[in-house]
Structure formats: structure tokens, C-alpha cells
Amino acid sequence: QSALTQPASVSGSPGQSITISCTGTSSDVGGYNYVSWYQQHPGKAPKLMIYEVSNRPSGVSNRFSGSKSGNTASLTISGLQAEDEADYYCSSYTSSSTEFGGGTKLTVL
Amino acid sequence: QVQLVQSGAEVKKPGSSVKVSCKASGGTFSSYAISWVRQAPGQGLEWMGRIIPILGIANYAQKFQGRVTITADKSTSTAYMELSSLRSEDTAVYYCARDGGVTRTFDYWGQGTLVTVSS
């Protein structure tokens, strides 16, 4: 059982927008602005897509955006493309560890 | 460009230990922390612990306390993760990742090391 709750799967058609939620508590997501999002293609290492809730690393498309409200963080992908199909994980700082969500499989229809 | 290169796949017997290495290049090794994250087959990511090489201080996820040891050799820019008392449930891909410190942002990852625990 992961500490952070994500939907198991989401889907969308090319060009559409989707949002993946990540729900925690006031001890993790709600307590700090240290939420990250990672993309993982099959057989590959995770790739950082969003850090500190809403910041994009250099080289990450501006189609990816992050936000947070209370104990829930969200990743939005706009203008869906076939290559966005992957697993997505959120993570959050806590005072004693780092927690991950269970992951969300994004299918591009 | 920062690169983290991990040691190769391992097959271990239950009850034994495994030590995985992670060699960093292209950055200042001691300026960051290194975290270890594992992923069991078909499962999600699980944080195991981290080390701050410049301080030599490690902290571990409660689940792995007493079974995992993370060390770092500043002279070779290499971090190590040793897991003992292996059981079949420890079969997983083990990743090292550069850890941005307070923010716990993992911006660079190793390629992963498959550890298989089987009798």
C-alpha cells in the first residue's frame, strides 16, 4: 500500500488533456511544496518531469504542468501525444523519508 | 552531463546479501545526496534510503532499517547499497538517483540493477 494515492489508470486521445491526481496528507503533500512527478516508460529508469509542485526541468515539454491544492497534487498533460503513454509517479518529501504514489498508467487511445 | 552508472545484474540465494554500486560522473559528487529506490516486477517505486556523501550520513526508510546499509566513497564518486537477509520479495530493479537534498527531487537516475533472489 503506497503512502500517496494515485488512480491506477487514465486515458485520453491525442490532442486532449488529462490530469493525474496524487493524494496524501498534511504530513507529506499538504505540508510541503516538495512534490515531484516522474515518467517511466517500460524497461526504462524514471525521468523527472515536475519538481517542487510546478517547476519543469530544462528539456521537459511545457505540455506538462503541476499544481497542488491542500493534500492533493496534480499533473496535467495537455495536447496528448503517443509518446506520453507511460507510467507516472508522484513523490513527496516527508520529515523522515520520501514517499511515492502507486503509479498511474497513462494510455493514449 | 551527470551520469550514474550502476553495477550489473545479480542472482542471490535467500538469506544472503547483495551490494550494488553507483558511480557518478559529470557533476560534483559530494554536493548532492544519493538515494536508492527499488521497483519490484510490475510494481511501483519504493524509496529505501539516502546518503549525503560530504557528511557520510545515511538515513533509511523504516521498512528497511537494520537490513540496508548505504555508503559512499568520495574518492571514487561511488555510492553503494547493501541489502542483507535477502528474501524472494527483494527481487527487484534497484535504482540510484541524485537527490537534490531538502526538496528530495531525483533529477538523474542510474540505469537500474536487477537483483533476483532465488534458491
Chain-wide mean pLDDT for chain B?
95
Q: Which amino acid is at B48?
A: M
What number is the average pLDDT over the span B85-90?
A: 97
Find, in chain B, the residue whose alpha carbon is nearest to that of A57.
Answer: B107
B5-16 burial: b if 16+ Cβ within 10 Å, else e:
ebbeebebeeee
Biggest CA pair distance of chain A: 40
Tell me the pLDDT band of B40, cut-offs 50, 70 and 90. Answer: very high
What number is the average pLDDT over the span A55-80?
A: 97
Tell me the pLDDT band of B31, cut-offs 50, 70 and 90. Answer: confident
pLDDT at A95 over 90: no
Q: Do A47 and B102 touch (CB under 8 A)?
A: no
Residues contacting residue A94 through CB under 8 Å, at least 6 positions apart? A27, A28, A31, A32
- Give the Cα separation of B22 and B24 in Å (integer): 6
What number is the average pLDDT over the span B87-112?
A: 94
Chain A residues close to B5, C-beta within 8 Å: none
Residue B51's nearest CA partner among B78, B74, B75, B72 is B72
From A24-33, A99-108, B53-62, B100-109, the region with the lowest mean pLDDT: B100-109
Chain A residues close to B103, C-beta within 8 Å: 34, 36, 51-52, 93
pLDDT score, position B29: 80
Whether B64 contacts B46, CB under 8 Å: no
pLDDT score, position A61: 97
Q: For A47-65, write each residue's pLDDT tens digit.
A: 999 999 999 999 999 999 9
Query: Strands (DSSP E) along chain A, which ranges?
Result: 9-12, 18-23, 35-40, 47-50, 64-69, 72-77, 86-93, 98-100, 104-108
Q: Which residues of A touch B (CB under 8 A)?
A: 2, 34, 36, 38, 45-48, 51-52, 57, 89, 91-93, 96-103
Residue A61's nearest CA partner among A45, A43, A78 is A78
- Give the Cα separation of B90 and B108 in Å (integer): 23
What number is the average pLDDT over the span B13-36?
A: 92
Q: Do B107 and A99 touch (CB under 8 A)?
A: no
Of A51, A89, A101, the CB nearest to B103: A51
pLDDT score, position B30: 77
Query: Residue A51 carries which DSSP code?
Result: B
